[in-house]
């Protein structure tokens, strides 16, 4: 979020309502956050223009789509030079199986959320995608076998 973008409690209500239902109409959104439609739409456009709302997407069941296996991968680099970090980050951004990549503190340098079709597909991903980057010291893998909670809705801030 840009530093100049200031949001208030009403903006947060708009965001939470959209996180719950991205297809909500402006009329329903305005009613949901206790605004009239014009000010609601104006606030929404400001949130978009200021980069607070980065975009809109749909939440798809990965298994139904064809990716029944989710993997969390911890990656440690073999060096921490600017060149190595830039190389790894540029290359990992090109890999479609990597849905998210986080820079971490602690034992691992990066934490990846990856989807694959099966174990053979994961082996191909490691051998042909990750190993090809060339600056990785270690890869630690955890396979997801169940999801307890998954949400994209932020909690309310206590004002």
Domains and CATH numbers, the chain: 9-49 (1.10.10.10), 62-143 (3.30.70.920)
pLDDT at residue 2, rounded to an integer: 44
Q: What is the pLDDT of residue 3?
A: 52
pLDDT exceeds cutoff 50 at 80? yes
Residue 29 has pLDDT above 70, yes or no: yes
pLDDT-based confidence at 157, cuts 50/70/90? confident
| Residues 132, 125: Cα–Cα separation, whole Å | 10
- What is the rounded CA–CA span in Å between residue 139 and residue 92? 13
Instruction: Please state the φ and ψ torsions of residue 140, each to the nearest 5 degrees.
Output: -120, 125
Percent residues over pLDDT 90 in the chain: 93
Give me the phi and psi of 71, to 5 degrees please.
-130, 140
Model pLDDT, residue 159: 56
Residue 150 — very low, low, confident or very high, per pLDDT cuts 50/70/90? very high
- Measure the CA dihedral 81/143/147/18, to 10°: 40
pLDDT band (50, 70, 90) for residue 123 = very high
pTM, entire model: 0.86
Please, is 107 exposed, middle or buried when counting C-beta atoms within 10 Å of its C-beta (0-12, 13-18, 19+)?
exposed
């Amino acid at each position: 979020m840009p530093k100049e973008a200031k949001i208030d409690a009403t903006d947060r209500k708009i965001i939470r309502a959209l996180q719950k239902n991205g297809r909500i109409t402006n009329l329903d959104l305005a009613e949901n956050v206790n605004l009239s439609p014009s000010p609601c739409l104006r606030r929404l456009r400001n949130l978009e223009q200021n980069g607070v709302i980065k975009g809109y997407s749909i939440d798809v069941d990965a298994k139904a789509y064809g990716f029944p296996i989710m993997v969390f991968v911890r990656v440690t680099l073999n060096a921490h030079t600017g060149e190595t970090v830039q190389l790894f980050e540029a290359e990992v951004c090109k890999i479609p199986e990597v849905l998210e990549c986080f820079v971490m503190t602690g034992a691992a340098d990066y934490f990846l959320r990856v989807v694959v079709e099966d174990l053979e597909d994961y082996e191909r991903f490691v051998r042909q995608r990750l190993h090809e980057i060339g600056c990785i010291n270690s890869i630690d893998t955890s396979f997801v076998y169940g999801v307890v909670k998954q949400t994209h809705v932020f909690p309310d801030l206590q004002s």
